[in-house]
Amino acid sequence: FSAGDVVMMYPCNAPEDVQQFCELLRLDPRATFSLRATGSTAVPPRLPQPCSVRHLVEKHLDVAAVPRRSFFELLSTFATNEVEKEKLLEFSSAAGQDELHSYCNRPRRSALE
């Protein structure tokens, strides 16, 4: 290496976390998909086409991060249990931020938890 060189490191999720994520969301890690550019939104250049669910979760999603409000809002659209759906929507609302902080941010729970 020389002075001024740049090194890029891309972290990966652990295989057991990828498996747990896929099991929780009932996803087949071997399934593949392709993305298409729409309007001004391009397909990320590092995302292979087609891409496996395993590759996406392992190399592009941060399943160990503390989830944000938008995560709970998105998750609520998939909830089939009405009580769970209401709690997810509460976490995604402005009024539910104190409870979200107590449940998620303070103990630093990840999306997997």
Q: Tell me: the pLDDT tens digits for 12-22?
A: 999 999 999 99
Query: Where do the H-state alpha helices sit in 2-110?
Result: 15-24, 53-59, 69-76, 82-92, 97-100
Residues 96 and 55 in one domain: no
Domain region containing 91: 69-105
Rg (CA), the chain: 17
Please confirm whether the linkage preceding 50 is cis (ω < 30° from 0): yes
Residues 93 and 59 in one domain: no
pLDDT band at 83 (very low <50, low <70, confident <90, very high): very high
CA 7 – CA 103 distance, rounded (Å) = 37
pLDDT band at 1 (very low <50, low <70, confident <90, very high): confident
- Looking at the whole model, is its pTM more than 0.85? no
In a domain? residue 101? yes
Residues 22 and 54 in one domain: yes
What are phi and psi for residue 32, nearest 5 degrees? Answer: -120, 160
Number of compact structural domains in the chain? 2
